[in-house]
Structure 1
Amino acid sequence: MSYTVNTLRSLTRSCEQMRDRVKSVVFKPEDRKVLDLTFGPGVAAELVGRTPEALAKAEKEGRLPAPKQLNNGRRYYTLEDLTQIREALGIKVGKAPHEDAVIIAVQNFKGGVGKSTITKHFADFLALRGYSVLVIDCDPQASTTTMFDIQPETLIDKEETLGNYLSPRSVFDDFPAAIHDTAWPTIKIVPSSLGLQDAEWDLTSTLREGGQAVREGLQRLRIGLSSVVKDFDVILLDPPPAMGFLGLNVMAAATGMLVPVPARQLDYLSTIHFMDTIADNIEVLEANGTPVDYGFIRIVCSAYTPSKPGENDMWKMMQATYANFMLSQPVLASEEIKNATQAFRSIYESKPSASHGTYQRCRENLDAVFGEVLQQVREQWPSKSISGLPVDAHGSVPA
């Protein structure tokens, strides 16, 4: 073994050992992520789309069990309690059973734009509000997979992976086997693995065969999702940062697109190339018998620091450029997000790392951003669409 290879292997082992040490501290004693989320009456009522008074009345009438209490008498609810409340009161926030999930690609070719962070946080935002979510990590770097506490290197030889399914050697019925549970009861994931890089080569090889083989190579993810598209409300795709066959599969499978763009000049300029490339590749898909038509395309300004004059100017320029395609709320840069990510968690899973006020402002900002995206999602379902009228961020129903 050469010096270079030996050194890289050694560095890899050292990194893996340190990662395991970090996880043993973060997740001890279970060594797996465990959700320990509790909600006061006000927050719980907001998340299920009722008022605190309505919940208290239902509890008094026996339609709901009494909430749990701490020694100091403070009432609280768990994530499981929220699910039981929705079931008991007949609160259905997602699509109708006959409707398809909205499939969103969180896409941008440039690294460091917050793609995986937004995917993870949006999934958790939706799950808190009762939506059923499938996350598909299509990036061999596997950042989203790691955030959901799955070690991608353990999946390299597994048959139940996205890489295995995307290989032309697999059959289309294999897709559901690649779906894994997460710590969230209503979030499942198709994790990335190191073998996903091999799938790119396998898919590219279909070019030699032409015709039907190429069409199937471009549509493998779309065909796989067709077998589960009614089982979830929202399916989130975290694509690779390049437009090969993996990226084309994502573009072909999606029914909506969310584009993170930081308020920085180079990121703004690279997005021009990104948009042009996406359009070119959709034309390639359509020329190969794979029509693509998104229900919505939205740009979100990510990691924005309003106190920086340059970013403030770029934010104004982005608003002028993208107009109605731009979310009105940017994702604000926050140490809370950075600290939560370092602990393999989202803001929605973590406790404040600084002041409670800073943490709360961060959550409120994310809620506002994702509430806008959720409005676009609900507009895709005829049973939930309220065209031309505001749709609240929680998919709530009257008390």
Structure 2
Amino acid sequence: MKIWTVANQKGGVGKTTTTVSLGGILALQGKRVLLIDTDPHASLTYYFGIDSEQLEVSVYDIFARGTQMASEEILQSLCPSTIENLDILPATMAIATLDRSMGHKSGMGLVLKKALAKISEHYDYAILDCPPVLGVLMVNALAASERILVPVQTEFLALKGLDRMMRTMELMQTSQSKAYQYTIIPTMYDKRTKASLEAYKSLLDTYGDKVWPGVIPVDTKFRDASLSQKVPVEYCPKSRGVYAYKALLDYLMQLD
């Protein structure tokens, strides 16, 4: 099972859209895909019409019970999506308490990695949607991943958020003696604006081949797909945003 984490320490840059878009395309290609919500806001969970407040089991239980949770129990906590081959490990607001209640315990940074190892034979891909703050949830998501996908809105303030994300990865690489593979994804690109053009050029100048050479354009179809609780490739398969994510997926598969 390949594990990708979608992360950035700035909100509103397209993390959840990237997660559901790539996951949906992979599932329609016949891959078995698990999407994991590690954000207390539960945007990914609500995207699929899952009421996080009504869940009996969620990603919180994996942290609360740790290694005691058997593979069968983890699989039973998953929610199916509207399309075949795509499952969701949902989040609840309870995970917002993890830093305070469990962040001090030893081994907490590898809980998610160990849990995913138990169910790895059931999926081809796992994609983790990450919260925008550094804490036990982001640490777990980064530690579990083989590649980090960093969506960056093509505007000046988002570039500052990217600086923080790069420093976080450097710190974790040092503490874990692990070199992260990462890809920066320019999102919400509008070729009509000077801000997008200059931000994209700045990304390429600063990060070089770590930047995907394509862009994810501004596309209102993403919002419509979310409203319909369908992955973009299911709701608007011929939209320019979906074409862009298909190109991104092809690129990522070549890297791996």
| Fold conserved between structures, TM > 0.5 | yes
Residues 337-377 of structure 1 deviation map (CA, whole Å, 9 limit, x = unaligned): 2222232223212158xxxxxx543332222122212323x
The amino acid that maps onto 1:171 is Q
1:187 equivalent in structure 2 = 86
What is the deviation of 1:274? Answer: 1.5
Mapped pair 1:142 → 2:33: no
TM-score under structure 1 normalisation? 0.60
**Unmatched runs of 5 consecutive residues or more in structure 1:** 1-100, 207-213, 353-358, 380-399
Mapped pair 1:345 → 2:230: yes
**Unmatched runs of 5 consecutive residues or more in structure 2:** none
The amino acid that maps onto 2:102 is L
Conserved in 1, the CA contact under 8 Å of 2:151 and 2:185?
yes
CA distance in 2, matches of 1:334, 1:195: 33
SS at match of 1:250: helix
Mapped pair 1:370 → 2:255: no
TM-score under structure 2 normalisation? 0.92
Pair member with larger Rg: 1
What is the deviation of 1:281? Answer: 3.0
1:8 equivalent in structure 2 = none
Residues 233-256 of structure 1 deviation map (CA, whole Å, 9 limit, x = unaligned): 111011111111111111111111
Seen in structure 2, the aligned counterparts of structure 1 residues 363 and 273 have a Cα distance that, compared at 3 Å, is closer
Matches within 5 A, 1:191-270: 191-206=90-105, 214-215=106-107, 217-270=108-161
Mapped pair 1:178 → 2:77: yes
Conserved in 2, the CA contact under 8 Å of 1:164 and 1:170?
no
Query: Taking CA–CA contacts closer than 8 Å with sequence separation of 6 or more, which of the two structures ends up with the larger relative contact order?
Result: 2
2:195 to 310, 318, 334: 310
Conserved in 2, the CA contact under 8 Å of 1:251 and 1:282?
no
What is the deviation of 1:321? Answer: 1.6
Seen in structure 2, the aligned counterparts of structure 1 residues 351 and 118 have a Cα distance that, compared at 3 Å, is closer
Seen in structure 2, the aligned counterparts of structure 1 residues 322 and 205 have a Cα distance that, compared at 3 Å, is closer
Matches within 5 A, 1:98-117: 101-117=1-17
What is the deviation of 1:103? Answer: 0.5
Conserved in 1, the CA contact under 8 Å of 2:35 and 2:127?
yes
CA distance in 1, matches of 2:156, 2:245: 23
Residues 121-145 of structure 1 deviation map (CA, whole Å, 9 limit, x = unaligned): 1100111111110111000111111
1:330 equivalent in structure 2 = 215
TM-align CA RMSD: 1.9
Q: Percent identity?
A: 24
Conserved in 1, the CA contact under 8 Å of 2:221 and 2:236?
no
CA distance in 1, matches of 2:21, 2:116: 22
SS at match of 1:362: helix
1:121 equivalent in structure 2 = 21
2:170 equivalent in structure 1 = 279
SS at match of 1:184: coil
SS at match of 2:157: helix
Conserved in 2, the CA contact under 8 Å of 1:167 and 1:202?
no
